[in-house]
Amino acid sequence: MKLSIVIPTVDGREKSFSRCMAAYADTIPMGVETQYLIFDNRPTCGIAWNEGIAKANGDYIHLSADDLEPLPGWYEAAVAKCEAGFIPSPRILKPDGSLESCGWDALEHADGEITPFSRIPFAPREWFERMGPMLETHYMNDYYFGDLARSVGIQSIIARDYLFIHHHEMTGRLDRLKEDWAAYDLALRNLT
């Protein structure tokens, strides 16, 4: 089994990036071949993710970010949901251990509950090929990933052990939410 992990990063986030990489090294099970696709200083996260998807040769593709820290069991939980035919939707913690999100909101949800999207995309490579490219925006790709999956008949469900800490690195963070929401809205209308 081979895993391709796509990680965009920007100058000034070296500490965050190092923590992210160390956490992946510590939590990916022995025997899983890993292809890291690192993209420095791309204009948006979506551009880096699409470049990574195009170069990925793993059985699974995982779209990450340099301010995420995977916790033990994340990989096994994600693969189990995919093998059952679903997109895994993570449980994400803040650095203080409190809940940031579980599925689509900041409430706890049961494992296996259907949710509209996955904040940290993970799927078999062939699903990405069926769904098509991500938006080239910085934000809203988690929403769009769920919409793409549903457009080809795949639901997202809560995978509570698909677990991460989000460190909210602010260095280089873009103020594009309004523009990206408009781009997402347009893409969604074109998708249906």
Structural domain range at position 91: 2-191
Q: What is the pLDDT of residues 115-171, one digit of tens each?
A: 998 999 999 999 999 999 999 999 999 899 999 999 999 999 999 999 999 998 777
Q: How far is the C-alpha of 143 from the C-alpha of 62, rounded, in Å? A: 16
Domains in the chain, number = 1
- Please tell me the pTM assigned to this model: 0.95
CATH of the domain at 116: 3.90.550.10
